[in-house]
Structure 1
């Protein structure tokens, strides 16, 4: 009996946005741009570059417009926009791919953007319709899809309902996240099997954090459920300022190494990926702990 695995997996790099937003020191814009350039040279074709959020709340993203204007290269460059104000700033650039976000958990959503989940969805509906009319690629990021740091276990039906609503609104992609890194492979396989069955025409992406060391196992479980798109962060950078205890995203290099060793192509050059991490590493406040990177630097 053989495992049911895809021949190719698409990696969406979230390091420049999700990875860096939680860094305590402000990273120079030039270093961010160089980091992104090196990531693209490694073969990453889809990437979260930055976000149009309030610099008061996320000062790391205050150079968002400058970052975006540095990359008009034909690849899918995503920008996270939480509200109308962020989308108006997006319209001032040539970027044509946008990410919106909402938490399944009300308490998480209130902590994050001071709205309940239903209030966020009411606000997002006309914005998504407007973006689609203007020809934008729209990605919806679904936070706390498995567990919430404030409410505990999240019901699968609640996740399916929220995802289904986004599909009705017309989004192109759903990024379903284990925001605090508490999900186990059984839960991952169950939820993604349901989503794959019920939302078969929508692009589904899995987003894992490695808080409890289960991210790679959860990638494998999602693969078994038919998922072939994954958010990852070079160097395992990341966390969430509004999710206490959440550590970094699963490391791009660890996921790519595992997939390539399994015979699944990603189109990503690991040695060039290490070079990209080398660019950003001197600016970080915490050590990079990904397995592949540490082994590569130990040679």
Structure 2
């Protein structure tokens, strides 16, 4: 599938408007209709902790195509969240039932009360915080640029001025591009053409073959990609403030949020959380917030974002 090009960030002036192409409304409408039909066809399951304990099980939604968080290898679920799910099953005094969904409908299904929570690699954003609370973060989602390993022209953020970049359509990374734009403006540079992709493998393929100058992704996928293909890709500098990955829980389940916060504290104190972070992310994150994220204002303060 061909990428679409669009500028995302601050209001556009005339010098940027020529880079803009229309959003594909039909695709958005189809996704909305599909989500609505799914919500009508499935029973409501979401509940707070007391009801979960009374019925004897919790229903979690996961995905299977976002390494190293969740993926399938030789027919078996693998990844950080697959291991955390097993730890949660040992910890909980009720059954944990898992449903694997495509990412495109996963958060919508949880927000529509079809599942109790999403146990997946979901980045925190303003939009999502209006629907969900988040458990304390278990990974950094700060954004970095990725370049070709043999491209010596990109040594710092300043070198990105005017260059063509790739990012996933509809992603949190796209919504935070104004931070990079501001970094570049402070060094008398400007954000170049922004190319949106349906998936990151497409963007990385175009980076490798020279159609893009760089791609922006968050810390964990960047580390995974560069470690797996160091001869092709190299990690650049940060292009955003702090970001976080954790588990979304509907706002009408505060007791469940407390329970999952206690579970993560248990994993932290036992040292098991750091072990799994090292195993799957290539590093542990000792400076992450220890409290749940429950508001846009709290997130902005932690991430150093301006209102």
Which is richer in strand?
2
TM range (shorter): under 0.3
Q: Give the alignment's TM-score, normalised by structure 1.
A: 0.26
Higher Cα radius of gyration: 2
